[in-house]
Structure 1
């Protein structure tokens, strides 16, 4: 990958090496302008969720909902995402624990040795993030964030730390929902988990009709190639670059340090025997899961993902003491997730469960508005826009599909559209608002030690370019799948 990027951009790369202050291209100037604005005006992620809560409150009042009903929706929904909150916190913690182990430190260092210049490093992070997101979105966050830190330790790259951190987020902002961890595609393919309200409309839709459609695969690669190029050319150069040191980030804090027992009782903390015994139990569990459910179903479970990484971290650290030291360092990376996700649970409840004077919720009004103006020709674009709008307010892939599916699939059925492609319209479009919504950024921000305002200028640049391309391709490929 690095060789291809270097060959395709040799002229620009030479500027990085030979010119102290190379000129900024159009994309770099655009991203720089957005970043300057975001650093000055974009609020902290917690302020963002508070303001969103108040906006939804006003919207509920506007449709005629009573103040007490809105308050009830806020309170009842506040803890609805607690299992997911714990899962997301563990994504950040276990990823950090694994990466701080000596073997992974060496592996990530090898990945970090590939690019030769700062812009190439940013493009390399984008590639790694999006490629890994096809397997698992959580993996892309953790691997991308830790790769950024490893690259930042190579001071000679003069890599913009903000742009690289934003590139690590592209798996969530561009491609994850087109891959194997797509919540909606997995839900539609599993008859046992499919709600009756959805199964009565579409029935089971196999993966061959969703993420494995050739149109979906082409869309994935178009987004990947386009995003890599955007971030390469949008990456700051010369004196515009802000390194990790400039951002006040210590990128050496996860480096493993050797410890030794100081008393006889420390044997239990330093022996590798206890971690191995526990990991053997985990191996037995995963063997049973593979045998019963198959590889795809096993790895697509977020609980299994976190369990695997926790056990892997325990094994790679080789002893309990090193493992616990890593956990202690990792816990602060999850602080934003723990305090903010409950508010998103409240927002989701206020959007879907609080009803106005006509007995309908905000999400019901939105779905009917968009579906009513769609026809056979405009269905992909209209539903894509609708999915993006609701995705900004309810940033939860699987949960949001359960809300949207009855409307989207019924409209697809009435218009004789391809049911599987309707799922992919949802998948591709709902990832777009992730580029500016801090919800999914939080685990990554915890790893790279930045604020949302530091990276959102670059991700907004990506949104401006990718949104029209995604909508056009959704429409174009729908024409090849018309039933």
Structure 2
């Protein structure tokens, strides 16, 4: 697949269709989103294969190229999850198994899993937050308003904890320090990500225990 033009040309074709659709509907409306998207699609088209494109990006942005390349696709995944209602479906699935004692842990796991598809905390909450809040409101039916508000706060923090934890396995914050710390070396983000596995497991155990028995 890395040396095949079929996959990349298919993505580029759909990209050009969208670009044409955008300008057809909005005229010559240039904004950051369409500019970045146009450059991405042009790059895919001109480089023909994923391997050529990745090599070119490494030459231009060196040790953070892999992360930069993924972000536009993460945004696309977020758009799909929002437009298809997948976030609401996640909430509906939780309704069947959520209880007054385990809902913070379920929110925590959901936040961690969805973060692998949407590494933006705000974007992730926009996708799964409303569904999980609806779950909490259903569970809190008959309780006082202050109790329901406290439950929503716990669920929201559970999502945030899960999102923060899974960042250990895809450390995008390295974008800030890698250009400086890895300057003059051949280090890539993937070279150090393995060292985050042990802290990830450790904190998952600790946070899970706290969310189950002390969901504050």
The bucket for the TM-score relative to the shorter chain is 0.5 to 0.7
User: Equivalent residue for 1:451?
Assistant: 188
User: Equivalent residue for 2:23?
Assistant: none
1:366 corresponds, among 82, 87, 90, to 90
Task: Kindly report which structure 2 residues correspond to 1:54-203, keeping only aligned pairs within 5 A, or say none.
Answer: 82=33
> Does the CA contact (< 8 Å) of 1:81 and 1:341 recur in 2?
no
User: Equivalent residue for 1:433?
Assistant: 166
1:376 corresponds, among 100, 107, 110, to 100
Shift in alpha-carbon separation, 1:81–1:456, aligned structure 2, 3 A: farther
> Does the CA contact (< 8 Å) of 2:78 and 2:127 recur in 1?
no
Mapped partners of 2:87, 2:18: distance in 1: 19
> Does the CA contact (< 8 Å) of 1:388 and 1:433 recur in 2?
yes
In the alignment, structure 2 segments of 5+ residues that lack a partner are 20-30, 37-60, 141-147
RMSD over equivalenced CA pairs, Å: 3.6
Pair member with larger Rg: 1
How far is the alpha carbon of 1:385 from its aligned partner?
A: 0.8
Mapped partners of 1:437, 1:465: distance in 2: 16
How far is the alpha carbon of 1:472 from its aligned partner?
A: 1.4
Task: Kindly report which structure 2 residues correspond to 1:69-468, keeping only aligned pairs within 5 A, or say none.
Answer: 82=33, 335=65, 338-353=68-83, 355=84, 361-416=85-140, 417=148, 418=150, 419-449=152-182, 450-468=187-205
User: Equivalent residue for 1:16?
Assistant: none
2:96 aligned counterpart, secondary structure: helix
How far is the alpha carbon of 1:432 from its aligned partner?
A: 1.4
In the alignment, structure 1 segments of 5+ residues that lack a partner are 1-46, 48-53, 55-66, 86-330, 356-360
TM-score (norm 2): 0.59
User: Equivalent residue for 1:469?
Assistant: 206
Mapped partners of 1:397, 1:343: distance in 2: 16
List per-residue Cα deviations over 1:145-197 (Å, max 9, x = no partner): xxxxxxxxxxxxxxxxxxxxxxxxxxxxxxxxxxxxxxxxxxxxxxxxxxxxx
List per-residue Cα deviations over 1:277-329 (Å, max 9, x = no partner): xxxxxxxxxxxxxxxxxxxxxxxxxxxxxxxxxxxxxxxxxxxxxxxxxxxxx
TM-score (norm 1): 0.29
Mapped partners of 2:80, 2:106: distance in 1: 24
List per-residue Cα deviations over 1:348-373 (Å, max 9, x = no partner): 223332x3xxxxx4333333223431
List per-residue Cα deviations over 1:418-439 (Å, max 9, x = no partner): 2222221111111111111254
Report how many aligned residue pairs link the two structures.
158
Shift in alpha-carbon separation, 1:462–1:447, aligned structure 2, 3 A: same
